[in-house]
Amino acid sequence: MRIRAVTNNFSVKTNSDIGLGLEDVAQVFRRILFEDILPLWSTVGIDRIRGGFCESISREGRIPSSSRRVRVTARQVYSFSEAARLGWNPTAASACIRHGYRFLLSHSGPDGLLFHSLSDDDTLLDQDHHLYDQAFLLFAYAHSFAHLQDEDYRRRAVSLLKSLRLRLGHEAGGFKDHSRSPYPLRSNPHMHLLEAALAWMAVDANPVWRVLADEIVSLFKSRFFDPDRGVVREYFNADWDVLAEGGRWRIEPGHNYEWAWLILRWAQATGGKIGDRAERMIAFAESHGVDPSRRVAINEVWSDGLTADGQARLWPQTERLKAWLAFAETLDGESKRIAEQNACEASLALLSYLTPGPRGIWHDVMLEDGSFKSGVAPASSLYHIICALGELLRYVERSHPDQGTIKGRALDGGQDALMPPGILMGMA
């Protein structure tokens, strides 16, 4: 069977070699998130003067002066919604969500579409409507609605989807990339639209979300996925034909893991058929996109399997973890055990970006020699980190019920870390 071949080929360590199981790693992750990351990014990471959230935090704990992408606030709104679901301070989380929501409303057009970016003096730099940004606005609305049960989120989400179809809809299916320069077409924003559609399907019975999810999966099957190589392609012309460079194209291992995770979730939610596509994307990413010495998912490879960019950002490590967890849920016996081992390796790789260092700050880029590039911690990474932790906790609690509920366990200090005093100042 291909499944057994895939998992056996990519078995890298046993639990005894690693020294930690998934349950142990989940507990470590949760402690770092609750005690270090969330207290920092919900205080220092908030812009109480201009609204929204900062773009990054330096390793010295300062906010660099820079332009800001509006969608970063949408991602932070999701992150604090998920934090509340995982058991973090619900009052502080709600305040962060509402703070971000006000900023998003003030930086959207009359049709509900989000603007792109602001200068460091808060001047609107880019009034174009990018598909990628709208996907995260829909995603933020879904999780805000799940946490706060405010009907305004649902109403705005449905209106936003209508505007998306009107302004960016593509006659051959899917969506154009953005309002001013619609081409090349890209698969990546559609991936996040699928993520948003699945989030809405979980909390709202409106059929528009299932229609959107099915439409994107259909486009994935017909255009994005390369059946010969078993990978997802990134860039396309106006007719949805892949754009190549010298007969080959760039492949992002992180996106292959992320698509695998999402289509497995779609199949679970709908009963739809995906064949072996998820498995093949994971297999390609593991074979060609994981550095054999550093054991991290690298940034880019060519479609022929050669390395295009051997550096390794933080976010592909989170997607590798999520993909292996989702794949493990489809397996049993030895194949499941091996998939869990690979998930554990991915989680340990991710931990190396979070520790050691200033509390709540992460490294973004691992260089080819295994050292980390100096620089700020981008706020946009919190979305990836907390989503991966959420998936890990869900997996452990479903697959290992004998371990109890990690979310309900005490941390080393005896209780969940609470917000520092004053977190609600200026955010009512």
pLDDT at residue 408 tops 70: no
d(CA 91, CA 85): 12
Angle, helices 131-148/70-85, rounded to nearest 10 degrees = 30
CA distances for 342 relative to 2, 161, 287, 296, 350, angstroms: 16, 37, 13, 11, 12
| Residue 151 counted as domain residue | yes
Given a contact cutoff of 8 angstroms between Cβ atoms, the answer to whether 76 and 41 are in contact is yes
Per DSSP, what are the bridge partners of residue 232? 225
Q: What is the mean pLDDT of residues 140-144?
A: 99
**Beta-strand relationship, 312-313 and 365-366:** antiparallel
Does residue 424 belong to any structural domain of this protein? no
How far is the C-alpha of 79 from the C-alpha of 330, rounded, in Å? 27
Peptide bond into 356 cis (omega under 30): yes
Over residues 191-204, the mean pLDDT reads: 99
Q: Residue 391: which of 32, 28, 86, 74 has the closest Cα?
A: 86
**Stretch 125-152: mean pLDDT:** 96
Q: How far apart are alpha carbons 119 and 286 in whole angstroms?
A: 39
**More confident: 426 or 221:** 221
Rg, the chain, Cα only:
21
Counting residues of the chain whose pLDDT is more than 90, the rounded percentage is 83
Q: Is residue 291 part of a domain?
A: yes
Average pLDDT of the segment spanning 200-211: 99
Span 88-96, average pLDDT: 98
Predicted pLDDT at 416:
36
For 353-382, write each residue's pLDDT tens digit: 999 889 999 999 999 999 999 999 999 999
pLDDT tens for residues 312-342? Answer: 999 999 999 999 999 999 999 999 999 999 9
Distance (Å, rounded) from C-alpha 134 to C-alpha 160?
A: 8
Question: Looking at residue 428, what is its pLDDT?
Answer: 31
User: What is the per-residue pLDDT for 227?
Assistant: 97
Cβ atoms of 264 and 328 within 8 Å: the answer is: no
Please tell me the predicted confidence (pLDDT) of residue 425: 31
pLDDT at position 9 over 80: no
Measure the CA–CA gap between 45 and 63, rounded to whole angstroms.
8
The pLDDT of residue 415 is 31
The band of 402, judged by pLDDT with boundaries at 50, 70 and 90, is low
| Range from 48-62, 119-133, 342-356, 392-406 carrying the lowest mean pLDDT | 392-406
Does residue 388 lie in a domain region? yes
Q: Judge whether 416 lies within some domain.
A: no
Long-range CB contacts for residues 118-125, cutoff 8 Å, separation at least 24 = 118/50, 118/67, 118/68, 118/70, 119/67, 120/65, 120/66, 120/67, 120/68, 122/50, 125/67
The CATH number given to whatever domain includes residue 355 is 1.50.10.10
Q: Report if residue 161 sits inside a domain.
A: yes
Q: For residue 192, give the 3-state DSSP assignment.
A: helix
pLDDT band at 127 (very low <50, low <70, confident <90, very high): confident
What percentage of the chain carries pLDDT values higher than 70?
A: 89
Q: Model confidence over 32-74: pLDDT tens digits?
A: 999 999 999 999 999 999 999 999 999 999 999 889 999 999 9
pLDDT band at 14, cuts 50/70/90?
Answer: very low
End-to-end C-alpha distance for the chain, whole angstroms: 56
Residue 308 lies in a domain: yes
| Residue 106 main-chain phi, psi, to 5 deg | -80, -10
Asked which of 160-174, 241-255, 402-416 is least confident by mean pLDDT, the reply is 402-416
Mean pLDDT of 298-306: 97
What is the per-residue pLDDT for 405?
A: 59
- 40 lies in which domain range? 2-408
- Least confident range of 15-19, 312-316, 385-389: 15-19
Number of domains in the chain: 1
DSSP 258-291: HHHHHHHHHHHHH----TTHHHHHHHHHHHHHB-
Q: DSSP letters along 47-84, please?
A: -TTT-SB-SEE-TTS------EEHHHHHHHHHHHHHHH
**pLDDT-based confidence at residue 82 (cuts at 50, 70, 90):** very high
Higher pLDDT: 19 or 263? It is 263
Contact 72, 380 (CB under 8 A): yes
C-alpha 385, offset from chain centre:
8
Residue 419 lies in a domain: no
Mean pLDDT of 78-103: 98
Tell whether pTM > 0.95. Answer: no
